[in-house]
Structure 1
């Protein structure tokens, strides 16, 4: 087989600083925002001429943090509780023969500032530092197929957690409503591995969101943020 090599055209600047807790699909955290910065020699306004006419784009990227782990022929999808194995090509697992990901995200605006060309994105599931291989416009008439059969992922996941904040944390977030909403959007889906979802635990979990280390505890379907 002919080997291929690809050059990154951009990099993602995201509030999600680690894999744990990132929304498992795009579209699940409406308050999430990121910036896709085009890299030289692709950081020219001509390269994005006309892209602002589209509300959404496809982002083709590399699972850079898990790429070295290689691939496995079967994986345990979270949607099946992590208890049933499916073929890797029947899932969107990061552990693929070629560590390539695909996300459709909302394009909020395009900013050109000197030599910087920045795409401001919303509703994302991208890790900070993600290398981007390509960008394509999302075209509803061909890309949206509501009659399609989606197998075991036929419906969107439900928000299963009620998220609350200790009083001291609520005070800290009083002037940061966007961050507070992002924390709620992410944690309400329960970021733990699927096999732990039905359990109550004494453990304190942590998740890096922006410059905050969000600490939380879980009791059944109630999640409480206890530290930042």
Structure 2
């Protein structure tokens, strides 16, 4: 048996590439997003009562991997990218049906959209379903989470070069939250786990909105070297 499902909407976020996106969303991500419903969804009726819930589950598709193969065994980043475990014991994006789920905080309900906080999805991600977060049922005391039992810590102090700081001041006029987003993403050390807590000569970049953030990392500090606005292709 097979089933065809269609998106109820798409979510638009500050993230346009996978590298650097906070994992697991709520509790780790401070990024906001807007879920815009498809024209055939009567959002006013479909979302009646949703404002009474503080958080929502979003069921989405890892759409950038939709045409890529999946494997029974994967290498979770939290295990350093070296140890293999079963795909169903992970939250890998390379899955049989390419579905993901995230908890987000509901900020506002619009006419045809929902504004949420704590997103961990690439901008344009298709949303297949929305469910209210039920506190007594969805939060389980003393649950065991194997290799992901504890939340990752922000391990790096973030500093800006003079050049980056000057550009940041201008960009803050356009994106009021860009400073907080850059600090949060880079401080968490988005590199693979096997490279973390090590000095590294490589210059990395993460894209937030339309800005490429170029940075290097010492053992305990990240230096934001430059901020480059990416022109539309």
- The TM tier, using the shorter chain, reads over 0.9
| 1:153-172 → structure 2 map (5 Å cutoff) | 153-172=148-167
Q: Provide the rounded CA distance (Å) in 2 between the counterparts of 1:173 and 1:106.
A: 27
Report what 1:27 is aligned to: 26
Report what 2:105 is aligned to: 106
Deviation at 1:31, TM superposition (A): 2.6
Q: Provide the rounded CA distance (Å) in 2 between the counterparts of 1:195 and 1:69.
A: 25
- 1:160-180 per-residue CA deviation (whole Å, 9 max, x = no partner) reads 222111123223333625211
Deviation at 1:154, TM superposition (A): 0.9
| Superposition misfits of 4+ residues, deviation over 6 angstroms | none
Q: Provide the rounded CA distance (Å) in 1 between the counterparts of 2:106 and 2:132.
A: 10
1:174 alignment partner, one of 169, 173, 181: 169
| Range that drifts further, 94-103 or 174-183 | 174-183
Distance 1:68 1:28, change over 3 A: farther
Kept in 2: contact 1:7–1:133 (CA 8 A): yes
Deviation at 1:28, TM superposition (A): 4.6
Q: List alignment gaps of at least 5 residues for structure 2.
A: 228-233
Report what 2:183 is aligned to: 184
What is the TM-score with the length of structure 2 in the denominator?
0.91
Report what 1:44 is aligned to: 43
Distance 1:100 1:54, change over 3 A: same
Kept in 2: contact 1:200–1:220 (CA 8 A): yes
CA RMSD of aligned residues (A): 1.5
Q: Provide the rounded CA distance (Å) in 2 between the counterparts of 1:10 and 1:141.
A: 28
Deviation at 1:36, TM superposition (A): 0.4
Distance 1:30 1:89, change over 3 A: closer
Deviation at 1:29, TM superposition (A): 4.1
Report what 1:128 is aligned to: 123
| Range that drifts further, 42-51 or 15-24 | 42-51
Deviation at 1:53, TM superposition (A): 0.8
Deviation at 1:37, TM superposition (A): 0.4
Kept in 2: contact 1:29–1:182 (CA 8 A): no
Kept in 1: contact 2:80–2:194 (CA 8 A): yes
| 1:18-97 → structure 2 map (5 Å cutoff) | 18-97=17-96
Tell whether 2:13 aligns with 1:14.
yes
Q: Provide the rounded CA distance (Å) in 1 between the counterparts of 2:58 and 2:102.
A: 5
Distance 1:190 1:28, change over 3 A: farther
Q: Provide the rounded CA distance (Å) in 1 between the counterparts of 2:197 and 2:51.
A: 44
